[in-house]
Amino acid sequence: MTLPEDLKYAESHEWVRVEADVATIGISDHAQAELTDIVFVELPEIGKQFEAGDACAVVESVKTASDIYSPIGGEVIEVNEKLVDQPELVNQSAFTEGWFFKLKITGFSAPDSLMTAEQYGEHIS
């Protein structure tokens, strides 16, 4: 399993890529593998504000439905519209094409609980 080193990871299996004051958020390759075939993704509304730990999206697979939590606080500025018609992109490319949404980070909102790739790898093993 690949764990990109440039990402931070939450215990709830979301990943975060921070570029300047924008954070891109998705679920890890481990999470999508555990969910199996993803058939539906409910994305947050643009303009919605979240605090770290808030439920912000839903992913449904052939096995179950799961909440997606925002690993950091901010305002939704973009969602991955491709997932509406192609939710399987999360299974095919969890760290690139399968991202869920982007936040404009508000203040210093990255909690200390976010893990490096190495720490996350230990967490899931």
**pLDDT mean for each 10 residues of the chain (125 residues):** 90 94 95 95 97 95 95 96 97 96 81 86 94
Residues ≥6 apart with Cβ < 8 Å to 92: 98
Q: Which domain holds residue 32?
A: 8-107
Distance between CA 112 and CA 65 in Å, rounded?
Answer: 27
pLDDT of amino acid 77: 98
- Asked if the structure places residue 73 within a domain, the reply is yes
* Residues 3/16, Cβ–Cβ less than 8 Å: no
pTM (two decimals): 0.93
* Residues 16/114, Cβ–Cβ less than 8 Å: yes
pLDDT of amino acid 113: 72
* 67: CATH: 2.40.50.100
Q: How many domains does the chain have?
A: 1
- Asked if the structure places residue 118 within a domain, the reply is no
Tokens of 114: 């976010």
